[in-house]
Amino acid sequence: MCGIFACHCHPDVQKFKPTALKLAKQVRHRGPDWSGSVISKNTILCHERLSIVGVDNAESGAQPLTNEDESIVLAVNGEIYNHRSIRKNLKKPYHFKTTSDCEVIIPLYMEHGLDAPKYLDGMFSFVLYDKNLDRTIAARDPIGITTFYQGWSTKEPSATTYFASELKCLHSVCDKIRSFPPGHIYDTKSGETIRYFQPSWWDGSKVPDTPLDLKLVREKLEKSVRKRLMAEVPYGVLLSGGLDSSLVASIAQRETMRLKKAALAANGNAAEQSEDPDKGEGLVGMDDEDHLSTVTYLPQLNSFSIGLPGSPDNEAAVKVAKFLGTKHHVMTFTIEDGLNALSDVILHLESYDVTTIRASTPMYLLSRKIKAMGVKMVLSGEGSDEIFGGYLYFHAAPDKKAFHEETVRRVKNLHLSDCLRANKSTSAWGLEARVPFLDKEFLEACMNIDPKEKMITPERIEKWLLRKAFDTSDEPDVEPYLPEEILWRQKEQFSDGVGYGWIDALKDNAEQHVTDEMMKNPKPEWGSDIPDTKEAYWYRTMFDEHFPPHCAETVMRWTPTWSKQSDPSGRAIATHNQKYEAKAQ
């Protein structure tokens, strides 16, 4: 991940520059490797870089990027996985200044204008300034994997518009802020925000009827993981021991071994000479046509898990790692560690949602350890539960239409929940998280499956479809992806899986900080957004210590559909203990 800050049409941009650099510095944790800024006319773009691709030359990926005559300026946060294919298929010759995967956005804009984001396959937020037209455009990836905000100030001209990767850059200069909508592009010329991402499943009102193709599900996820191994730095996988992260780890390990074999063959086994098992070797990987390209592989894929001592996730993760042969790193944290980090977690998350904070705290602690080891990119399993209805409350869906509508709603809101959590918890320490389940191709295939195949029944555990796609028990020639006990392990929400004592401790501490009287008298500035538990109240007060009231408009608080429970924890749902065993029946 990187960090961006920009302001279009500032009334006095030269005078504003020192302030802009200070505001950009607020997201330096996202991009600790280098900083850059460009002023063109009355517009300024600032960038804080985390180098993942194009790392050898300090200038090869430094941003903001410009075209040959510097009439176009670009600042990007993200990764463009199909950049090689784009370079090959441009209609007009373009002089590339760098090897950065993000530079392709400039010639795409020159050829396609506002349609440029349609051609990108990746996770991204970008701000592009066209000097000749005095026009700024901004766009965000289809699902909102990268965090992005837009703001305005009533004290400045209506044309003045701000953009940033995080809320903390904007709240001191903007009195109106929104979470930039995923899959959209904004144009200062028209002042309009247009949705460019228009998949067939987006509406949600039409129930899909595509027959289940288990082979296609497997192939699309494998391809998605493969393209996300694009890197020139040591990478790893977040491994909770649950189905989603374990599948990603399994596929990544297969690809890593395949790439290592190819590199050894290409380099005459020179890579075997390495004395340090943690150093990257043999810059290889797969490009868009499955040819060898740039990826740094480690002799062993690193995997990481976290939990309280004896947590379900750590125990399961160790089993998976041993089965896969990854180099696994187990981190345990104490309840006091987590409680001490809460205020910092909320500062980075920029949210007071209960589920998000519960799950983000261990992820935040783990990310610090991972970055300290020199790993800069990890794969993670976010998105699967939304696509396949994996949360246990989906058991209460009345019919397949309601089931499908809820999956669409959850995917659309990922940028306010799990994507926000994964992005900001890791970026807090300059670590990048990539999410294979939210690949455009994978989404198109899986969101169009007849939802009757996804529904939880007495015969089918949650995410039966995904589990079955990777069940090789009937394929004697295929090595199993996971142990059967993991492939059919019941869903645990991340905040539960790290150890049930974590949530209990949060509730107990909230009781100490929030009185019954405080619950009866919420702050007037909260309006109708009133916390319904002491834990939620506690988090909201910590949020208010960091952010002014108008920032709350960017936050979504979540509770399960078809359920009256106020606690979003998975174990608060009756089916957690009553409906399923850890293995399919």
Band the pLDDT of 123: cuts 50, 70, 90: very high
Dist. CA 51–CA 395, nearest whole Å = 43
Span 140-184, pLDDT tens digits: 999 999 999 999 999 999 999 999 999 999 999 999 999 999 999
For 72-94, b/e burial (b = at least 16 CB within 10 A) is bbbbbbbbbbbbbebeeeeeeeb
pLDDT at 292 over 50: no
Active-site residue, from 2, 46, 169, 551 = 2
Angle at 241 between CA 239 and CA 244, to 5 degrees: 75
Dist. CA 460–CA 397, nearest whole Å = 14
- What torsion, rounded to 10 degrees, do the Cα atoms 427, 27, 183, 405 define? 50
- ω before 64 within 30° of 0 (cis)? yes
Q: Clarify whether 46 is annotated catalytic.
A: no
Dist. CA 469–CA 15, nearest whole Å = 58
The per-residue pLDDT for 148 is 98
Is 175 assigned a ligand-binding role in the annotation?
A: no
Dist. CA 464–CA 388, nearest whole Å = 9
Band the pLDDT of 300: cuts 50, 70, 90: confident
In the chain, what percentage of residues exceed pLDDT 70?
88
Span 439-489, pLDDT tens digits: 999 999 999 999 999 999 999 999 999 999 999 999 999 999 999 999 998
Q: Which residues does 159 contact at the CB level (< 8 Å), separation at least 6?
A: 8, 9, 188
User: Considering only CA atoms, which of 305, 339, 343, 337 is closest in space to residue 321?
Assistant: 305
Residue range 3-195 forms a domain whose CATH class is alpha beta
Is 241 assigned a ligand-binding role in the annotation?
A: no
| CB 1 within 8 Å of CB 146 | yes
Dist. CA 269–CA 252, nearest whole Å = 22
The per-residue pLDDT for 57 is 47
Dist. CA 537–CA 516, nearest whole Å = 11
Q: Under CATH, what is the fold of the domain 214-578? A: Rossmann fold (3.40.50)
Q: What is the 3-state secondary structure (H, E, C) of 252-279?
A: HHHHHHHHHHHHHHHCCCHHHHCCCCCC
Residues β-bridged to residue 303: 237, 328
Write out the E strands in 143-276: 149-152, 161-164, 176-179, 184-187, 192-195, 235-238
* Residue matched to tokens 């994978």: 442
User: The whole model's pTM is what?
Assistant: 0.92
Mean pLDDT, rounded, for 355-383:
96
| CB 79 within 8 Å of CB 32 | no
Mean pLDDT, rounded, for 83-93:
96
The per-residue pLDDT for 574 is 57
pLDDT at 490 over 90: no
The per-residue pLDDT for 204 is 83
Is 238 assigned a ligand-binding role in the annotation?
A: yes
Mean pLDDT, rounded, for 1-17:
96
The per-residue pLDDT for 481 is 98
Looking at per-residue pLDDT, the higher value among 230 and 572 belongs to: 230
pLDDT at 378 over 70: yes
The per-residue pLDDT for 337 is 97
The dihedral region occupied by 559, where left means phi > 0, alpha psi between -120 and 50, and beta the remainder, is: beta
Q: Which helix or strand (DSSP H or E) is residue 433 part of?
A: strand 432-434
The per-residue pLDDT for 58 is 46
pLDDT at 286 over 50: no
The per-residue pLDDT for 498 is 81
Dist. CA 489–CA 504, nearest whole Å = 23
Dist. CA 512–CA 531, nearest whole Å = 16
Six token digits for residue 275: 């004395």
Is 380 assigned a ligand-binding role in the annotation?
A: yes
The DSSP code for 114 is G
* Residue matched to tokens 């987006």: 202
Span 307-364, pLDDT tens digits: 999 898 899 999 999 999 999 999 999 999 999 999 999 999 999 999 999 999 999 9
The per-residue pLDDT for 500 is 78
The per-residue pLDDT for 289 is 53
Residue 336, burial from CB neighbour count under 10 angstroms (0-12, 13-18, 19+):
exposed
Q: Name the average pLDDT for the chain.
A: 90
* Residue matched to tokens 């949600």: 204
Break the chain into its structural domains and give their ranges.
3-195, 214-578
Band the pLDDT of 277: cuts 50, 70, 90: very low
The per-residue pLDDT for 265 is 77
pLDDT at 420 over 80: yes
| CB 35 within 8 Å of CB 28 | yes
Is 101 assigned a ligand-binding role in the annotation?
A: yes
Q: Mapping DSSP to helix (H, G, I), strand (E, B) and coil, where does residue 456 land?
A: coil
Band the pLDDT of 496: cuts 50, 70, 90: low
The dihedral region occupied by 187, where left means phi > 0, alpha psi between -120 and 50, and beta the remainder, is: beta
Span 197-254, pLDDT tens digits: 999 999 888 999 999 999 999 999 999 999 999 887 788 999 999 999 999 999 999 9
